[in-house]
């Protein structure tokens, strides 16, 4: 597919959607051209840092209408190249969409914006934990919630807790038509219609831009250990 190359007319329109010029970067640096694996580099033509759902909606709609490639980006600690703008275009940097929107310990749920870091979530929770990042090592402090959600990881802890999708109640997602959709529900029981929430989870960012996540919370276990298999040969 041949994409449209961003020109001055595009920049003029897109910049009108972003209230702060500091969040509209027309000369990206090498900060945005790689991930943690750092083997492939791909520089975007434009970096936009939205702070509201409305800003995401306008940018995504314009990019879709004008055939401009757009790639959502978190804190870029991944190793799979998911944040690389291999066709140029727009890097939609979600780092500033990091607000805690709702904390409800009575229903054991928390709603955050897409850029909320996992380490910040864990620091906020007193006596509760989230299993939305069950396969991540505790030192992966830069990983953001939606980065793990979109990849739906499931490492050793998945044996006890299940994979990521089982701990997400509700999503808000911007699709290419620029509209904001809500998939899933905060309620424990919600099985009406197709499970579009689970379609988004694990889609690796190809179906839409997740802007808000409601996750399940659990009481902190009294004891937590990690077990590794015995790899020694037995004679």
Asked if the structure places residue 233 within a domain, the reply is: no
Longest CA span, the chain:
72
Torsion of CA 112, 19, 182, 210, to 10 degrees: -60
Q: Are 159 and 215 contained in the same domain?
A: yes
Q: Are 13 and 110 contained in the same domain?
A: no
Global pTM reads 0.84
pLDDT of amino acid 141: 32
- Domain stops at, among 93, 112, 144: 93
Number of domains in the chain: 2
Asked if the structure places residue 187 within a domain, the reply is: yes
Q: Domain limits at 67?
A: 8-93
Of 47, 59, 56, 91, the C-alpha closest to 173 is 56
Residues 98, 117: contact at Cβ < 8 Å? Answer: yes
Q: Are 109 and 196 contained in the same domain?
A: yes
Q: Are 111 and 89 contained in the same domain?
A: no
Q: Are 136 and 184 contained in the same domain?
A: yes
Q: What is the mean pLDDT of residues 82-86?
A: 86
Q: Are 189 and 109 contained in the same domain?
A: yes
d(CA 95, CA 75): 7
> Mind listing the pLDDT tens digit for each residue in 92-144?
999 999 999 999 988 889 999 988 887 788 788 876 766 555 445 443 433 44
Q: Are 214 and 118 contained in the same domain?
A: yes
pLDDT of amino acid 170: 92
């Amino acid at each position: 597919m041949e994409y449209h190359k961003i020109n001055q007319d595009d920049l003029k329109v897109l910049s009108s959607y972003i209230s702060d010029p500091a969040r509209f970067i027309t000369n990206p640096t090498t900060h945005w051209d790689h991930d943690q694996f750092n083997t492939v580099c791909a520089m975007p033509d434009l970096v936009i840092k939205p702070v509201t759902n409305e800003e995401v909606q306008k940018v995504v709609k314009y990019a879709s209408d004008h055939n401009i490639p757009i790639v959502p980006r978190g804190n870029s600690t991944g190793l799979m190249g998911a944040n690389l703008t291999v066709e140029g275009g727009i890097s939609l940097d979600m780092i500033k969409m990091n607000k805690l929107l709702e904390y409800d310990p009575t229903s054991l749920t928390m709603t955050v914006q897409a850029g909320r870091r996992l380490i910040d979530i864990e620091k906020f929770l007193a006596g509760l934990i989230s299993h939305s990042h069950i396969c991540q090592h505790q030192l992966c402090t830069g990983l953001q919630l939606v980065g793990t959600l979109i990849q739906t990881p499931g490492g050793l802890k998945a044996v006890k807790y299940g994979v990521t999708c089982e701990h997400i109640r509700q999503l808000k997602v911007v699709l290419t038509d620029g509209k904001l959709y809500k998939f899933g529900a905060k309620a424990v029981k919600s099985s009406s219609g197709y499970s579009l929430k689970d379609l988004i989870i694990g889609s690796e960012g190809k179906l839409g831009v997740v802007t808000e996540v409601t996750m399940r919370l659990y009481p902190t276990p009294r004891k937590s250990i990690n077990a590794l298999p015995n790899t020694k040969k037995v004679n």
